[in-house]
Copies of this chain bind each other. A is one copy, B any other.
Amino acid sequence: MEFNEENKGFFINDYSEGAHTEILKRLQETNEQAQEGYGEDLHTKQAKEEIKRLLGENHSSEVHLVSGGTQANLTTLGAMLRPFESVIAPESAHIAVHETGAIEATGHKINTIPTEDGKITPADILEVLEEHEDEHMVLPRVIYISNTTEVGTCYTKKELQELRAFADEQGLKIYLDGARIGSALMTKSNDLTLKDLAALTDAFYIGGTKNGALLGEAIVLNSPELQKNFRYAIKQRGGLMAKGRILGIQFTTLFEGDLFFQLAGHGNEMADRLREGIREEGYKFLAETESNQLFPILPERLIEELEKKYVFYRWKKIDNHHTALRLVTSWATKKEKVDAFLEDLKA
């Protein structure tokens, strides 16, 4: 892919650019302050408070900041499981495919469930449980879901409530990977809030890296048992940054007002605009999504033209003349580029 050319339009991912200018500004303003290390600084403390504020008045959740998603996943899941316990996840799960065996490296098997839409249901999970009948097999303990999923779909409140009820029935825990939770919470039909996530999961994380931060994910621990000594887990896995302030500054800036939601909203708006424009041209989509990822099926000849001016990912070959693309928008996507893309579709 041809990066680094100024005039290109980037629909390749949501982490191509740096950070929102407010974050850089805050870094600049606070740069000379002497602050305590390892996440004990005032910025981190404020960031935690801003996030907890959104979790509900009587929240007892704990918030921790780490630098990336794989680190959030391996640290939290590693701390949730006894050695012989496993994680149940959709086959497309980031932890199952794109983390180089990070969870297995902490000693745990992932039991995967084939899905079309990246989502799993109590019925799917029950099947896994029923196959695991005794101590010759791992003991499934945590349900891993992501929202948005790896293919851009979202969970509804009802779906999460059903998972929670099922998990409680079965003695399972729920972990939600929120690398793109901003986009999920800002889709048009979303009915979930961070407060709901705190109530319905044992742990989840709020992705900063893919929503305007330079780096950083905020792990939210709702289960008191899991909260116990969690900073040890972070330090052991290499996630406790000496200058934790830079994580604190990201999340303070994102959450002291509603910048986090604004940025995700902008990404979704750009995605909607793209989606509608493409649909108007009569093209179909591989899957229906409302978030910042879309999968239009375009003719090969058109794709080749588009590739001269835009950067995106060829997701899946449909037939000899058609391919589904993955287009990703973000806080940094410019409306002009979207419009230019749609214009070029018509050509």
**A residues touching B (Cβ–Cβ < 8 Å)?**
1, 3-4, 8, 10, 12-13, 15-19, 21, 24, 27-28, 30-38, 41-42, 67-71, 73-75, 78-79, 82-84, 86, 97-102, 104-110, 135-139, 209-210, 214-215, 229, 231-243, 245-246, 311, 332
Chain B residues whose C-beta falls within 8 Å of the C-beta of A19 in the assembled complex: 31
With contacts A31-B17, A100-B84, A232-B100 taken as known, whether A209 is within 8 angstroms of B242 at the C-beta atoms is yes
Interface pair B240/A135, CB less than 8 Å apart: yes
Measured between alpha carbons, how far is A262 from B311 in the docked complex, in Å? 40
Question: What residue in chain B is nearest A230 (Cβ atoms)?
Answer: B135
Interface pair B68/A86, CB less than 8 Å apart: no
With contacts A71-B238, A83-B236, A237-B238 taken as known, whether A243 is within 8 angstroms of B18 at the C-beta atoms is yes
Chain B residues whose C-beta falls within 8 Å of the C-beta of A32 in the assembled complex: 17-18, 332
Which secondary structure dominates where chain A touches chain B? loop
Query: Taking the full assembly, how many copies of this chain does it contain?
Result: 4
With contacts A18-B32, A34-B16, A108-B104 taken as known, whether A136 is within 8 angstroms of B82 at the C-beta atoms is no
Interface pair A229/B139, CB less than 8 Å apart: yes
Chain B residues whose C-beta falls within 8 Å of the C-beta of A241 in the assembled complex: 67-68, 209, 215
Measured between alpha carbons, how far is A36 from B5 in the docked complex, in Å? 12
Q: Output the least CB separation between A264 and chain B (Å).
A: 16
Q: Output the least CB separation between A193 and chain B (Å).
A: 26
Q: Output the least CB separation between A243 and chain B (Å).
A: 5
Q: Output the least CB separation between A228 and chain B (Å).
A: 8
Measured between alpha carbons, how far is A136 from B240 in the docked complex, in Å? 9
Interface pair A238/B236, CB less than 8 Å apart: no
Q: Output the least CB separation between A293 and chain B (Å).
A: 15
Chain B residues whose C-beta falls within 8 Å of the C-beta of A83 in the assembled complex: 78-79, 105-106, 233, 236
Chain B residues whose C-beta falls within 8 Å of the C-beta of A86 in the assembled complex: 101, 104
Offer 7 A-B interface pairs, CB within 8 angstroms, sorted by A: A17-B34, A18-B246, A32-B332, A68-B241, A70-B240, A102-B237, A138-B236
Interface pair B68/A245, CB less than 8 Å apart: no
Given pairs A74-B238, A215-B243, 20 additional interface contacts (CB within 8 A): A3-B34, A3-B42, A12-B34, A15-B242, A17-B31, A18-B27, A18-B30, A71-B239, A83-B106, A84-B101, A86-B104, A99-B235, A100-B138, A104-B108, A104-B138, A135-B235, A135-B240, A136-B240, A138-B232, A238-B239
Chain B residues whose C-beta falls within 8 Å of the C-beta of A245 in the assembled complex: 18
Chain B residues whose C-beta falls within 8 Å of the C-beta of A242 in the assembled complex: 15, 68-69, 209-210, 215
With contacts A83-B79, A215-B241, A238-B68 taken as known, whether A99 is within 8 angstroms of B4 at the C-beta atoms is no
